[in-house]
Chain A
Amino acid sequence: MIVQQLLLSFIASALFGMIFNIPKKLLINSGFVGMVGWMVYFFFAEHHLNNVLATFIAAFFVALLSNLFARLYKTPATIFSVSGIIPLVPGGTAFEAMRHVVLNDYNAAISLAAKAFMISGAIAMGLIFSEVVNQLIKRRRS
């Protein structure tokens, strides 16, 4: 089960790198970043942590690893983080919200949409927090 998740998230993230046209030699790295992000999320979600919090932690690790790779390979960090955050996007929640809209069940739809919105916000917060860590490291060095 875990191996299957590891493998699938690695392949999916690396292939997403191709959709974003990232350099060929960095595809493996972007796959790795996506895999770590998804495994962090998967681990916490399996242990019944709140989805929003799990997404936040996963996004934090994705961005942290991207900044690390960016420094190592001297290229923009975006290259690694774009495909890494794709698996964290709340596709399932947004889908459920849409399904309830179509069923005219607006109460359920709005609460699901709010949840999807919170998860998107958690991705943003994860990116911001790791950027803060990045800046602190940079300041320490100089």
Chain B
Amino acid sequence: MPAYSDRTNEIVEVCLLAGKIMLESGGETYRVEDTMMRIAASFGIPRSHSYVTPTGIIFSIDKKNSTQFIRISERSTDLQKVALVNSISRRISNGELTLEEAYEQLKEVEAQKFAYPLWLQVIAAAIASGCFAVMLGGGWSNFLPSLLSGGTGFYCFEMIHRMIKIRFFAEFFASFVAGGMALLMMMAGLGEDLGKMMIGSVMPLVPGLAITNAVRDLMAGHLIAGLSRGAEAFLTAFAIGSGIALILSIR
């Protein structure tokens, strides 16, 4: 591999880009730190330091350079990008990519759209809701109403989250709509078990990634990131619960 020791600025740029994409797409903070340090090491900088929280990355290279900081304000769930950046970093470690190639490939990944369009995600959420209502022991008569209310709830969440950037409110409102739809269907004579229908239809809103990431970050010793991800999961659960409670109380 050619020597890159005189191009530290560009190396830092590649590291930060990789970290930024991963963090914005829902990677764990320990994975972000690990990836950035690995990339730096394979370009000939053995000692680099990084401090990553869910909302920002601080990265520095020993004594040579000024410390860089980037702020992460938008976060979404796009695990495909995490996997892609992970494989790029693997190839850099194996010496298969030059600095320029790595930067270009990362830029390509950054510009990529979601793996699945919104309509497909809404359909997936709808069918999953229906499956859950039956799985939890609700009987097949709950499948169709739960499918409809779950799909509507998820669509509401995506739409409101795009308009208003307050996640808590979007989750609260989406679970309110999903629960309300389930109640309406029940009144219209579709479905038998209101509880199972409601649980099934709020399942797509459950913070699965936040729970997993919180645990994995805490285990890796990233206490701040783990606690804040845990708080995120708790807040989401609370929002879903309040939405359902509101429906139950006005029933």
- Residues of A in contact with B (beta carbons under 8 Å apart): 4-5, 8-9, 11-12, 15-16, 18-24, 26, 38, 74-76, 78-79, 81-83, 85-87, 89, 91-92, 94-99, 101-102, 120, 123-124, 127-128, 131
Contact = CB atoms under 8 A, between A and B. Distances in A.
**Contact residues of A: prevailing secondary structure:** helix
A15 B124 contact: yes
Given A85-B211, A91-B199, A102-B245, 9 more contacts: A8-B131, A16-B204, A18-B120, A74-B87, A75-B83, A76-B27, A91-B132, A94-B241, A124-B215
Interface of B: 26-28, 31, 77-83, 86-87, 90, 114-116, 120-121, 124-125, 127-128, 131-132, 134-136, 154, 195, 198-199, 202-204, 206, 208-209, 211-216, 219, 237, 241, 244-245, 248-249
B128 A16 contact: yes
Given A78-B209, A89-B206, A95 B216 contact: no
Chain B contact surface mostly: helix
A105 to B, nearest CB: 12
A21 B245 contact: no
A89 B128 contact: no
Contact of B237 (A12, A18, A86, A94): A94
A127 B81 CA distance: 23
Contacts of A99: 195, 248
- The residue in A19, A124, A128 that gathers the most chain B C-beta atoms within 10 A of its C-beta is A19
3 closest Cβ pairs, A-B complex: A12-B131, A15-B124, A18-B124
A20 B128 contact: no
B124 A19 contact: yes
Contacts of B78: 21
A78 B212 contact: yes
A26 B120 CA distance: 17
Contact of A23 (B80, B135, B208): B80
Given A19-B204, A20-B209, A85-B212, A11 B79 contact: no
A125 B211 CA distance: 12
Contact of B77 (A4, A21, A74, A75): A21
B211 A91 contact: no
A127 B212 contact: yes
Nearest to A62: B212
Given A23-B115, A74-B87, A4 B134 contact: yes
